[in-house]
């Protein structure tokens, strides 16, 4: 069988014996039956386990809408017109509505970025601001020890609405839902306390129940209180193909269930070798982005197996803290110890790679220098074919294979 993998703007091929290929995982095809606007309007009109906004909002109430920052694919500008129409119909005045862009621990936006995220209409009609981690209200502490500190504009509102897109998150299970508030409009110390639990096995993509990070997020957000959410699912082209609104938990779970129908891929067993790519440019511009495919691939490889990670990484590692942690470690486990002691964004992805290396070797097919790749605990190759030949020489000619040509978008789940 000839398997194809995108790397940068090119495609590489590798020949694998048919009987050794356990599966080729690709996202299921889905075409929305309604326009993006109609999907959003219907979700707002028929909320899940929640009153409509007209029964939550009334004249004079201060409303905080929290949505994602520039690093996330949530198309806030697409949903704001319908949301504003609902709020105005309920008697809300533009002066009482604030759109808060959730920074987490990321940088502040430029004015043009805020305008782009909000959309022209919202930007001209209501206040649009970044969250402020230096001006928060303390509401308590979760059982896991996470301080519940939230942006003052959000905590002081009468009505809180959370927006977000739902996709797999490699340690919170899924994005969306209460995650808009924690870590979205919280503080660096709260993020660090919550995210330190990423090293636990239960903190993984596609898991909600028993996931310590997701449960801590939702416990913290419950102290704040979220009155309504609007979550969307996007296709590979960032178009809205599903929308769910209403209760912070139940509407979120509906969106997660829809996501699973497209991107959750059942497999009968793990393979000796997993060959995984982000699908090429622009998703494999650096290792920081390519790591997402690696983290999904870990669910498909046997202990002691090999992951062949395919990504051009033309811009290197892609993030300063990530690169610093990778190069400072003497061995992979140092990264796991470090993130437990001092969680830092960027460093957390280095620890995630180390967690894969605890169970499998990583062969990296990229444009990075060989010596550099070895320094970050991976084996360098120039082609997928060469990497596969090397893997077979280690694991034997009958080593089984799972191919993930769009690894960042497909989550393997063993069902056998």
Do the domain assignments include residue 240? no
Q: What are the tens digits of pLDDT across the range 319-337?
A: 899 999 999 999 999 999 9
Mean pLDDT, the chain, integer? 95
* pLDDT category of residue 72 using cuts at 50, 70 and 90: confident
In a domain, 389, yes or no: yes
Residues 303 and 346 in one domain: yes
142 domain-assigned: yes
Look up the pTM and report it.
Answer: 0.87
Does residue 254 fall inside a structural domain? no
Mean pLDDT computed over 78-94? 98
Domain-embedded: residue 404 = yes
> Tens digit of pLDDT for each residue in 45-59?
999 999 999 999 999
Please give the residue that has the higher pLDDT: either 104 or 414.
414
145 and 209 in a single domain? The answer is: yes
Same-domain pairing of 195 and 162: yes
Claim to verify: residue 305 and residue 357 sit in the same structural domain: yes
| CATH number of the domain within which 171 lies | 3.40.50.11440
Looking at the fold, whether 23 and 40 belong to one and the same domain comes out as no
Domain termination site, one of 189, 215, 234: 234
* pLDDT value of residue 11: 96
State which residues form the domain around 367: 2-28+264-414
Same domain, 94 and 68: yes
CATH of the domain at 366: 3.90.226.30
Query: Of the residues 184, 214, 234, which one is the last residue of a structural domain?
Result: 234
Residue 105: the pLDDT is 73
pLDDT of residue 289: 87
What's the confidence (pLDDT) of residue 343? 84
Query: Does 402 reside within a domain?
Result: yes
Total count of domains within the chain:
2
User: Within a domain: residue 257?
Assistant: no
pLDDT value of position 68:
93
Same domain, 279 and 363: yes
Is residue 332 located within the same domain as residue 409? Answer: yes
Give the pLDDT score at 73.
Answer: 84
Model confidence band, residue 189 (pLDDT cutoffs 50, 70, 90): confident
* Whether residue 228 is found in the same domain as residue 292: no
On whether both 281 and 397 belong to a single domain, the answer is yes
The pLDDT tens digits of the residues spanning 307-323 come to 999 999 999 999 899 99
Domain boundary among 212, 234, 256: 234
pLDDT at 140 over 80: yes
Say yes or no: 348 and 378 in one domain. Answer: yes
- Band (pLDDT 50/70/90 cuts) for residue 70 is confident
Most trustworthy range by pLDDT among 169-173, 197-201, 229-233 = 229-233
Residue 241 lies in a domain: no
Rounded to the nearest 5 degrees, what angle is found at the Cα of 169, between the Cα atoms of 331 and 275? 60
Same domain, 184 and 302: no
């Amino acid at each position: 069988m000839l398997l194809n993998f995108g790397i940068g703007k090119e495609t590489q091929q590798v020949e694998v014996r048919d009987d050794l290929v356990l599966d080729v995982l690709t996202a299921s095809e889905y075409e929305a039956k309604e326009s993006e606007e109609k999907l959003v309007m219907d979700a707002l009109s028929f909320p899940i386990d929640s009153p409509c906004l007209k029964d939550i909002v009334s004249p004079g109430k201060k409303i905080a809408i929290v949505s994602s920052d520039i690093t996330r694919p949530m198309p806030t500008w697409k949903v704001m017109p319908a949301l504003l129409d609902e709020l105005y119909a309920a008697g809300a005045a533009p002066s009482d509505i604030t759109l808060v862009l959730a920074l987490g621990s990321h940088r502040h936006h430029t004015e043009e970025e805020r305008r782009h995220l909000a959309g022209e209409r919202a930007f001209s009609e209501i206040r649009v601001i970044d969250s402020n981690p230096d001006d928060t209200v303390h509401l308590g502490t979760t059982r896991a020890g996470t301080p519940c500190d939230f942006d003052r504009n959000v905590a002081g509102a009468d009505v809180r609405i959370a927006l977000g897109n739902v996709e797999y998150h490699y340690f919170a299970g899924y994005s969306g839902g209460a995650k808009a508030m924690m870590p979205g409009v919280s503080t660096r110390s709260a993020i660090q306390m919550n995210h330190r639990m990423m090293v636990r096995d239960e903190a993984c993509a596609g898991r909600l129940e028993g996931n310590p990070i997701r449960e801590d997020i939702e416990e913290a957000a419950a102290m704040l209180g979220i009155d309504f959410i609007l979550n969307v699912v996007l296709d590979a082209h960032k178009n809205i193909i599903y929308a769910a609104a209403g209760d912070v938990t139940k509407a979120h779970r509906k969106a997660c269930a829809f996501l699973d129908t497209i991107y959750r891929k059942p497999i009968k067993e793990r393979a000796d070798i997993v060959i995984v790519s982000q699908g090429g440019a622009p998703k494999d511009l650096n290792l920081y982005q390519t790591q997402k495919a690696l983290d999904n691939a870990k669910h498909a490889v046997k202990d002691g197996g090999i992951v062949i990670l395919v990504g051009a990484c033309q811009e290197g590692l892609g993030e300063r803290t990530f690169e610093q942690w990778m190069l400072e470690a003497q061995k992979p486990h140092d990264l796991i110890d470090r993130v437990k002691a001092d969680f830092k964004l960027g460093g957390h992805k280095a620890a995630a790679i180390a967690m894969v290396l605890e169970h499998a070797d990583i062969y990296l097919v990229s444009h990075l220098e060989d010596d550099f790749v070895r320094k970050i605990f991976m084996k360098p190759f120039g082609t997928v074919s060469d990497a596969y030949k090397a893997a077979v020489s280690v694991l034997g000619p009958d080593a089984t294979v799972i191919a993930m040509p769009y690894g960042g978008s497909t989550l393997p789940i063993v069902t056998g």
